[in-house]
Amino acid sequence: MLIKSQGNNLLTIIVCIVVTSYCLEVSSNHDPKPGTCPEKCDCGRHLIYLLENQVYIVNCSGVGYVDIPSGLPSKTDALLLTDNNFHNLSHLGPLPNLQLLDLSHNVIQYIDNHWLFEYLPNLHILRLSNNAVRELKHGSFSGLKNLQCLDLSHNILQHVELHAFGGLNHLARLYLDHNKLTDLDRSWFLSMSLLYEVYLSHNLISRLEANGFDMLSQVVHLDLSNNIIKTINSDTFAGLNNLKVLDLSKNKLTSFPADCFQKLPYSEKLILDSNPITRLKTKDISDLNISVLSLSYMHLLRVTESKAFYNLSKLVSLKLHDNPAFLYVNPTAFYNVPHLEKLYLHNNGLMGISPQIQISLPNIKELHLYQNPLHCDCNIYWIKKQLVSGEIHNKSTIFTDSDKLVCDSPDTNINVPLRQVPLPSLSPLCPPTTLPLFQDHYNLSIGQTLSLECKALGVPSPDLVWLLPNGQLNTSAHDKRIVIKEPTLITLKGVLQSDSGTYACKASNVLGFDISSTAVNVANKDLKIVPIGIFGDYITVAWRGTIPRLNLDDFQLNYHTKTSTDQPQKIHLHKLLHRYTITGLKPMTTYEVCLTYLDQYLVHCQNITTNQKTVIKLGITRITNTHIIVGITTFIGSVLTLILIGYLWKKFYTKKGYIDPEGKTHDHMSPIPLENLFQPQSTPLCSSRTALLPNSQI
C-alpha cells in the first residue's frame, strides 16, 4: 500500500509539472499530511457494503460537517459522509483511489460545479439519496467515466437537463425513484448504453413517449411502479431487448395495455398490480413471451372474459389474487397456456370455478383458491372429488392449502370447511346461480350510459338472457341503442326516462333457473321553462332548476308552432343567457317551446299561445337586442352630433375674433358698446348672434 501511494504521489508530481498551477495547489494541500484521518472521522481498513474486498474507509458519517473536509488521505477507497449538513457540493479534492462516495442523508440542493467529480477517476458508486436535489444540469456527473451505480433516490428532482447524465458511459444501475419527475426523456439515456437496472418508481410520471427506452438494450430490470401512467403507447418498450422484469404496478392503467408488451422479445416477469383495470378482455393478454404475470391487488377487476389469456406459451406462473371484486373466471379464460403451473386465485370474490379450467391448463400443479366465498354445490363438486381422491391415495392435489377452502353458501354450509362437507351431499349437477355483478339499483339521469353484466355458475353451463323492463328479451333489433357484447354484457347508450324499470338476468339450465335483477331509475334533468311575458308577436321565457349555470351549455331551447311541420328553431343556452325573447311570432297561435339536453333528450316543453295583436301601452316596451342596439347607436350619434356642432361653433367664433379687421367692425358696430360686443365663450350654443356669425363671415 505504501509503495502504491508513493507511486501515486510521483504521478501527481509529473502531471503537475506538465500541466497547471491548480494541481500544484492541490498537491501542496495534500503534501503536508498525506493520509491523515480528518478530525471526528473514523479511518481504517474494513469490509464494507457494496464493495467486495477490504478497503481503506474514511467514515465521517453523522459528525455534523457542513462542508467536505479537506486533506483527505489520498489512499481513501471509500468516503462515507452520510448524515451531515452539506447544502452545496462544489469542491472535492483529487482522490484517485476512491471507489465509493456516500453523500446520502444530507441537505444537498445543488451540484453546481460541472467539474466537481473530475478527480475521481475510479469512483464506482455514488450515493446522493435522501438529499434535496431539485435539478440536474448538463454534465453534472462528467468525469465519472467508471461510475457503475448512481443513487439519486429520495430527492425532489423535477428538472433534469437532457445531458445531465452525459459521460456516465459505464453506468449499470440508476436509481431515480422517490422524486418528483413528471416526464422521462430519451436523451437522458443516450450515453448509458450499459445500463442494467433503472428504478423510476414513486415519481409523478404520467406519460411514456414512444421509443423512449430504445437506447436501453441492456436493461434487465425496469421499475416504473407508483407513478400515474394512464396509457402506454405500443412502441414505448421497443428496444428493451433484454428486459426481464417490468414493474408497472400502482399506476393508473384502466385496461391491459395489450399491444405494448408484444415488443418485448422475452421478459420473465410482468407486474401490473394495483391498477384500475376492470376486466380482462378476450385476447388482452395474448402472444406474450413471459413466464410470470402478476395482476393482483386490483380492487376494480371483476371479470375475465373467454380467451383472455391467449397463446402464452411460456407462462408458468399467474398471480391473480387479492382482487376483492373479482367474481368470475370464464371457464374458457385460458387458451393455449400449456405450461402454466401455478395459478394464484386466493383472496378474491370467486364463488366457484368451472372444472373446464383444468382442461385448458394441462400442466397445472398449484391452484390457490382459498379465501374465496365458495358456493358449495355442484360448482365445487369437482374440487371436493379431487380432495377425496387425494386423501384416499395419500397424494397431494393441485389445491394448495386445501384446508383453507371454506364454504360461504348455501345456508346449509356457511363457514364449513370444504374438507368436512361430505361428497354425497354435493351433486354433480345443479341449477344455476347468478353472480351479483351489478348493483341492486342504479340512479341515472337522461343521456347517461347503463352497462349491466350477468354471469352464472351451474352444471351444466347455464344459458343467460336479459329481461328488459318492457318485457322484451335481450334483442337489440328493437332498439338500436342497446349493444350486447360478451353474451351477457348489455350496454344501453343514452338512457331515457322511459328506460326506467327492472332489468333482470335469467340463467337457466336443464335443472332450473335463477333470476337476479336490478332497479334502474332514470331521472330527468331538473330544468324547466317559465314564460315571463306573453304578447302578440313575441314571448319571453326563462329557465329554472338546479342545473349549475356553467353546465347550461349542454342545453338547447327549441320552438315551433303546433301545426307547422317546419324545423324547430334552436337556441343554445349558455351561462350568461338568463332569458330569451322569441320574436316574429304570429298572434293567437300556440307554440311548443322545449328544452333539450345534448340536442336529443327532451327535458321540458310548454305550450304557449300568443295574445291578440295589441298596441303597446302602459310603457311596457318590448326590448330585443336590435332595439337596444338601435337605441344605443341613436344616443351615441346624438351625443357625437352635439359635440361636433359645439366644436365647429367654437372654431368659427374664435376665428372671427382674430380675422375680423378692426376698422370694419368699428364702422358697423361703433354705436354698440364694447362690453356688449365681446361674447364670452360660454355663449349659449343657439343664440341668434352665434348662429349668424358664420354667415356674415361668408
Ligand X SMILES: *[C@@H]1O[C@H](CO)[C@@H](O)[C@H](O)[C@H]1NC(C)=O
Site string for ligand X, 150-179 (x = CB under 6 A): ------------------------------
Select from 56-64, 134-142, 207-215, 245-253 the region that touches ligand X (CB under 6 A): 56-64
Contacts of 386 (CB under 8 A, 6+ apart): 397, 398, 399
For the chain, the C-alpha Rg in angstroms (whole number) is 43
Residue 220: which of 192, 243, 246, 186 has the closest Cα?
243
Select from 54-62, 124-132, 349-357, 427-435 the region that touches ligand X (CB under 6 A): 54-62
CB of 407 to ligand X, least distance (A): 26
Of 563, 607, 612, 695, the residue at the interface with ligand X (CB under 6 A) is 607
CB of 438 to ligand X, least distance (A): 12
Of 4, 18, 39, 394, the residue at the interface with ligand X (CB under 6 A) is 394
CB of 190 to ligand X, least distance (A): 26
The helix (H) or strand (E) run that includes residue 635 is: helix 625-659
Which of 91, 493 has the CB closer to ligand X? 91
523-582: contacts with ligand X (CB under 6 A):
562
Which of 259, 463 has the CB closer to ligand X? 463
96: DSSP letter:
T
Our finding on whether 461 is near ligand X (CB under 6 A) is: no
HEC-encoded secondary structure of 150-194: EECCCCCCCEECCCCCCCCCCCCEEECCCCCCCCCCHHHHCCCCC
Which of 235, 287 has the CB closer to ligand X? 287
Question: Which residues on adjacent β-strands are paired with residue 514?
Answer: 507
The helix (H) or strand (E) run that includes residue 3 is: helix 2-18
CB of 414 to ligand X, least distance (A): 28
CA distances from 555 to 337, 543, 658 (A): 52, 11, 69
| Distance from C-alpha of 499 to C-alpha of 249, rounded to nearest angstrom | 40
Of 416, 467, 577, 605, the residue at the interface with ligand X (CB under 6 A) is 605
Which of 444, 693 has the CB closer to ligand X? 444
Site string for ligand X, 238-267 (x = CB under 6 A): ---------------------------xx-
Our finding on whether 111 is near ligand X (CB under 6 A) is: no
* Size of the residue set binding ligand X (CB under 6 A): 29
Which of 314, 656 has the CB closer to ligand X? 314
CB of 617 to ligand X, least distance (A): 30
Contacts of 488 (CB under 8 A, 6+ apart): 453, 454, 455, 464, 466, 474, 505
CB of 636 to ligand X, least distance (A): 43
| Distance from C-alpha of 9 to C-alpha of 428, rounded to nearest angstrom | 87
Three-point CA angle 307, 310, 311, nearest 5°: 150
Our finding on whether 131 is near ligand X (CB under 6 A) is: no
Are the C-beta atoms of residues 373 and 408 closer than 8 Å to each other?
A: yes
Site string for ligand X, 12-51 (x = CB under 6 A): ------------------------------x-----x---
Are the C-beta atoms of residues 562 and 568 closer than 8 Å to each other?
A: no
CB of 371 to ligand X, least distance (A): 26
CB of 620 to ligand X, least distance (A): 27
CB of 517 to ligand X, least distance (A): 16
Our finding on whether 62 is near ligand X (CB under 6 A) is: yes
188-207: contacts with ligand X (CB under 6 A):
none
Our finding on whether 8 is near ligand X (CB under 6 A) is: no
Our finding on whether 487 is near ligand X (CB under 6 A) is: yes
Which of 174, 468 has the CB closer to ligand X? 468
Residue 486: which of 328, 281, 276 has the closest Cα?
281
76-95: contacts with ligand X (CB under 6 A):
80, 88, 90
Select from 6-14, 164-172, 347-355, 471-479 the region that touches ligand X (CB under 6 A): 471-479
Our finding on whether 625 is near ligand X (CB under 6 A) is: no
Which of 27, 59 has the CB closer to ligand X? 59
Set of cell numbers at residue 443: 340512479
Our finding on whether 486 is near ligand X (CB under 6 A) is: no
Classify strands 55-59 and 366-368 as parallel, antiparallel or unpaired.
unpaired
Which of 269, 650 has the CB closer to ligand X? 269
Question: Would you tell me how many other CB atoms lie within 10 Å of the CB of residue 51?
Answer: 16
Which of 96, 487 has the CB closer to ligand X? 487
Residue 363: which of 334, 385, 389, 384 has the closest Cα?
334
Find cell 393478454 and name the residue: 285
Of 470, 475, 600, 687, the residue at the interface with ligand X (CB under 6 A) is 475
What angle separates helix 688-697 from helix 625-659, to the nearest 10 degrees?
A: 60
Omega of the bond leading into 460 within 30 degrees of 0 (cis): yes
Of 11, 15, 66, 473, the residue at the interface with ligand X (CB under 6 A) is 473
Are the C-beta atoms of residues 240 and 266 closer than 8 Å to each other?
A: no
Select from 143-151, 469-477, 493-501, 529-537 the region that touches ligand X (CB under 6 A): 469-477
Which of 561, 624 has the CB closer to ligand X? 561
311-340: contacts with ligand X (CB under 6 A):
311, 313
Q: Encode burial over 504-538: b for 16+ CB neighbours within 10 A, e otherwise.
A: bbbbbbeeebbebbbebebebbebebeeeeebbbb
Of 12, 27, 59, 400, the residue at the interface with ligand X (CB under 6 A) is 59
CB of 588 to ligand X, least distance (A): 15
276-295: contacts with ligand X (CB under 6 A):
287, 289
Which of 112, 403 has the CB closer to ligand X? 112
Classify strands 173-175 and 149-151 as parallel, antiparallel or unpaired.
parallel
| Distance from C-alpha of 18 to C-alpha of 13, rounded to nearest angstrom | 9
Q: What is the dihedral of CA 673, 675, 677, 679, to 10 degrees?
A: -160
| Distance from C-alpha of 274 to C-alpha of 153, rounded to nearest angstrom | 22
Contacts of 549 (CB under 8 A, 6+ apart): 575
Per DSSP, the three-state class of 89 is strand
Which of 70, 475 has the CB closer to ligand X? 475
Contact set with ligand X (CB under 6 A): 42, 48, 59, 61-62, 80, 88, 90, 110, 112, 265-266, 287, 289, 311, 313, 394, 443, 463, 465, 473-475, 487, 562, 592, 605-607
